[in-house]
C-alpha cells in the first residue's frame, strides 16, 4: 500500500484518519473486494455493448421472477431513528465545516453526508470531510449536538466509477467507494451503532442487483471484522439508472438485512437514458428546462413503481432533492416556496416517506407539509395496489423539442460545473438553484445527444451542431468574464473558466459518449495537475514522501 503525503495544511487531520490500524483494515478490505469491483464495472460495459449491438430494450428479469412473485419476504425493519425521516439535507459536502455544523444544529431529520455528487474529490476535500465526520460522531465540535441527538448521518461514499488517486493497493489505485466506506466504518461505525444512530449509508449509481450483492458482501465482511452485529449497517440505494429501475425488487432482496429503502431522483436517472440509449433516435430526450419533470409518464411511473416496490416489502421510499434557493425578496420568496411545496406535495401524495432539500430554510416548511398531508412516522401503509407499471411506461420518452434557452442553460451548467471542480468544489449556485454533478450530467448528456442527432431548435431553423455549441460557449464565457471583470477575481480565475469551457466542448464533441462526467474529470490531466501545485512548487526543496 502507498499513500500520498498530506496537503501541508492538513497534517493533523491526516494523522487522525490514516492510523496504522485504519490502513491495515483498509488494505485488507480493498484487497478482498478489488477484483469483484472490477467485475461489476466490466459487467456494466458488457451490458451496454449488448444493448448497442442487439438494439434490445431492458425488461423485468425472467431469471429472478420467483423473487418478485414471492409475496412473503420483507426487508428487516429499520432502527427507530430511520422510521421518521421526512426531510434530509442533501448535497452536503462534509469538507465544508461551517455548513456541516449548521446542518448538525438544524431541525432536519437526516443529513446526506456527501462524498459523491455534491463533493469534489480532491485529496484535501476527502481528508477534511472524513475528519469532520469523525469529529461529529465523536462529539468534538463544541457547538454541535451529541451524535445521538443530531440529525442522522446518511453517509454517501463515492460511486463505483470513481477511484482514489492518492492510494495504491497492490499496484492499483484504490476504488473510491471502498476508500470512503472503509475509513468511515473503521473510525465511526461502532460509535454510531452504540448511539443508535448508524452506521447508515446512501449507495450511489447502483445499476444492478449484482452490484447490490457486492455491497451486501462488503457489509457482512466489515461487520464481522469490526465486531458489529449482522444487519447493523443500513443503506438506501439511489435508483439513478434506468436499468436499475427494472431490478428494484431484486436490489431490495439482496440487501434485505441491510436495507434502509430506495431513493428516486430526476437528473441522474434521466441522464442514464442517454447513457444507455442515446444513439437511438427514439430516445431523444427533449429540453429538460421545458419538457422534463416528475409529472411526465416515464418519471411518474418510475416513482410510483419505486414507492410500490418499497412499501410492499416493508422498505422506505424517498424522493429527490429540492434544489431551489430561497430568495430574500418577500414576493420572490413566496413564489419560490409555493413552487417547491407544489412539487414536493406531489411526491408526498405519490407515497414517499421523505425527501431532501438544500436550503436550510426549507426544512421546517417541508416538515409541516408532511404533517399536514400524512399521518404517522412514514407512509409504509400506502401500498399503491391499484398501480401497474409496465416496461413501456418506464421507457416512454416525453414529447417536445429543444429551445435555444434550454441549450444555453445546459451549456452554462456544464461549463460552470467543470469550473467548480477545477476550483475544488463539487457544487455551485446558478440562477437561484444549487447545481451538482447530477445536473451537470444531464446538461452535458443532452448537448452531446442533440449534436449527435442534429436536432433542430424550436425557435428557428438552426440545427444543434458543433459550430452552434462552440459559438454559444464562447458567448457564455464572454458574459461570465465580463462579470468576473467587475469583481475581485484574479487572472487565474479567468484562465480556469476558459479551460473549463474547452473541457466542456471536449466532452460534448466526443465520438463516443463518456459514461460519467465525474469519471472523465477525475482522470483528466488538467484536474489532476490542479491538485498537485504544492508538489510542483516543492521541486528543488524536499518533497514529502508517500506513506508505505
Residue 426 CB neighbour total at 10 angstroms: 25
> Burial of 71 by CB count in 10 Å (0-12 exposed, 13-18 middle, 19+ buried)?
exposed
CA atoms within 13 A on the CB side of 448: 29
Reduced to 3 states (helix: H, G, I; strand: E, B; else coil), residue 327 is: coil
Reduced to 3 states (helix: H, G, I; strand: E, B; else coil), residue 107 is: coil
How far is Cα 476 from Cα 414, in angstroms, rounded to an integer?
A: 11
Which residues belong to the active site? 156, 436
Q: What is the DSSP letter of 82?
A: H
Beta bridge partners of 463: 456
How far is Cα 433 from Cα 288, in angstroms, rounded to an integer?
A: 15
Phi, psi of 88 (to 5 degrees): -105, 155
| Bridging pattern class, strands 163-169 and 172-175 | antiparallel
DSSP string, 188-212: IIHHHHHTT---EEEE-S--SHHHH
Q: Smallest Cα–Cα separation from 37: which of 149, 223, 181? A: 181
∠ CA(205), CA(411), CA(426), 5° rounding? 45
User: Is the four-CA dihedral 261, 267, 125, 28 of positive or negative sign?
Assistant: positive
Residue 54 CB neighbour total at 10 angstroms: 8
Q: Smallest Cα–Cα separation from 215: which of 36, 26, 22, 27? A: 36
The length of the chain in residues reads 548
How far is Cα 17 from Cα 501, in angstroms, rounded to an integer?
A: 36
How far is Cα 393 from Cα 60, in angstroms, rounded to an integer?
A: 13
H-run or E-run covering 165: strand 163-169
**Residue 424 contacts residue 433 (beta carbons within 8 Å):** no
Q: Smallest Cα–Cα separation from 180: which of 209, 156, 147? A: 156
Per the structure block, which three cell numbers stand in for 313? 416489502
Distances (CA, A) of 237 to 119, 147, 208, 215, 310: 18, 23, 11, 10, 11
H-run or E-run covering 474: helix 466-485
Reduced to 3 states (helix: H, G, I; strand: E, B; else coil), residue 437 is: helix
DSSP string, 216-265: HHHHHHHHHHHTPPTT--EEEEEE-SHHHHTTHHHHHHHTTTTEEEEEE-
**Residue 84 contacts residue 109 (beta carbons within 8 Å):** yes
Q: What is the DSSP letter of 547?
A: B
Amino acid at each position: 500500500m502507498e499513500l500520498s503525503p498530506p496537503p501541508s495544511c492538513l497534517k493533523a487531520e491526516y494523522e487522525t484518519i490514516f492510523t496504522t490500524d485504519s490502513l491495515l483494515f483498509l488494505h485488507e478490505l480493498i484487497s478482498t473486494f478489488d477484483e469483484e469491483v472490477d467485475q461489476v464495472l466490466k459487467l456494466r460495459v458488457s451490458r451496454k455493448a449488448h444493448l448497442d449491438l442487439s438494439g434490445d430494450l431492458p425488461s423485468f428479469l425472467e431469471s429472478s421472477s420467483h423473487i418478485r412473485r414471492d409475496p412473503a419476504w420483507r426487508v428487516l425493519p429499520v432502527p427507530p431513528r430511520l422510521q421518521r425521516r421526512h426531510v434530509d439535507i442533501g448535497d452536503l459536502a462534509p469538507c465544508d465545516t461551517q455548513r456541516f455544523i449548521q446542518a448538525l444544529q438544524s431541525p432536519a431529520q437526516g443529513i446526506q453526508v456527501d462524498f459523491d455528487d455534491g463533493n469534489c474529490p480532491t485529496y484535501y476535500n476527502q481528508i477534511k470531510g472524513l475528519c469532520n465526520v469523525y469529529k461529529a460522531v465523536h462529539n468534538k465540535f463544541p457547538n454541535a449536538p451529541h451524535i445521538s441527538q443530531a440529525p442522522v448521518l446518511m453517509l454517501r461514499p463515492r460511486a463505483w466509477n470513481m477511484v482514489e488517486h492518492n492510494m495504491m493497493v497492490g499496484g492499483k489505485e484504490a476504488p473510491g467507494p471502498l476508500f470512503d466506506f472503509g475509513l468511515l466504518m473503521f473510525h465511526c461505525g461502532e460509535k454510531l451503532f452504540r448511539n443508535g444512530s448508524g452506521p447508515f449509508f446512501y449507495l450511489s449509481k447502483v445499476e444492478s442487483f449484482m452490484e447490490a450483492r457486492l455491497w451486501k458482501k462488503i457489509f457482512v465482511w466489515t461487520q464481522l471484522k469490526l465486531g458489529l452485529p449482522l444487519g447493523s449497517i443500513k443503506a438506501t440505494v439511489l435508483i439513478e439508472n434506468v436499468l436499475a429501475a427494472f431490478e428494484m425488487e431484486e436490489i431490495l432482496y439482496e440487501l434485505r438485512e441491510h436495507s434502509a429503502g430506495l431513493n428516486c431522483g430526476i437528473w441522474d436517472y434521466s441522464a442514464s437514458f442517454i447513457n444507455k440509449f442515446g444513439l437511438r433516435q427514439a430516445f431523444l430526450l427533449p429540453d429538460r428546462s421545458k419538457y422534463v419533470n416528475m409529472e411526465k409518464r416515464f418519471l411518474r411511473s418510475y416513482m410510483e413503481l419505486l414507492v410500490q416496490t418499497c412499501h410492499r416489502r416493508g422498505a422506505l421510499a424517498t424522493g429527490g432533492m429540492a434544489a431551489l434557493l430561497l430568495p430574500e425578496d418577500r414576493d420572490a420568496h413566496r413564489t419560490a416556496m409555493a413552487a417547491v411545496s407544489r412539487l414536493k406535495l406531489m411526491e408526498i401524495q405519490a407515497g414517499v416517506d421523505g425527501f431532501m432539500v438544500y436550503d436550510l430554510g426549507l426544512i421546517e416548511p417541508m416538515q409541516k407539509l408532511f404533517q399536514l398531508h400524512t399521518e404517522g412516522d412514514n407512509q409504509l401503509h400506502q401500498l399503491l395496489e391499484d398501480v401497474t407499471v409496465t416496461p413501456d411506461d418506464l421507457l416512454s420518452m416525453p414529447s417536445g423539442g429543444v429551445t435555444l434557452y434550454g441549450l444555453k442553460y445546459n451549456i452554462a451548467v456544464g461549463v460552470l460545473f467543470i469550473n467548480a471542480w477545477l476550483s475544488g468544489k463539487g457544487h455551485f449556485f446558478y440562477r437561484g438553484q444549487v447545481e451538482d454533478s447530477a445536473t451537470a450530467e444531464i446538461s452535458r448528456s443532452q448537448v452531446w445527444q442533440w449534436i449527435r442527432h442534429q436536432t433542430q431548435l424550436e425557435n428557428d431553423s438552426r440545427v444543434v451542431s458543433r459550430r452552434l455549441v462552440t459559438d454559444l460557449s464562447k458567448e457564455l464565457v464572454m458574459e461570465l468574464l465580463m462579470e468576473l471583470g467587475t469583481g475581485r477575481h484574479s487572472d487565474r480565475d479567468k484562465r480556469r473558466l476558459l479551460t473549463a469551457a474547452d473541457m466542456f466542448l471536449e466532452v460534448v464533441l466526443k465520438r463516443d459518449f463518456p459514461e460519467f462526467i465525474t469519471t472523465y474529470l477525475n482522470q483528466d490531466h488538467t484536474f489532476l495537475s490542479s491538485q498537485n501545485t504544492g508538489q510542483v512548487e516543492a521541486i528543488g526543496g524536499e518533497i514529502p514522501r508517500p506513506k508505505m
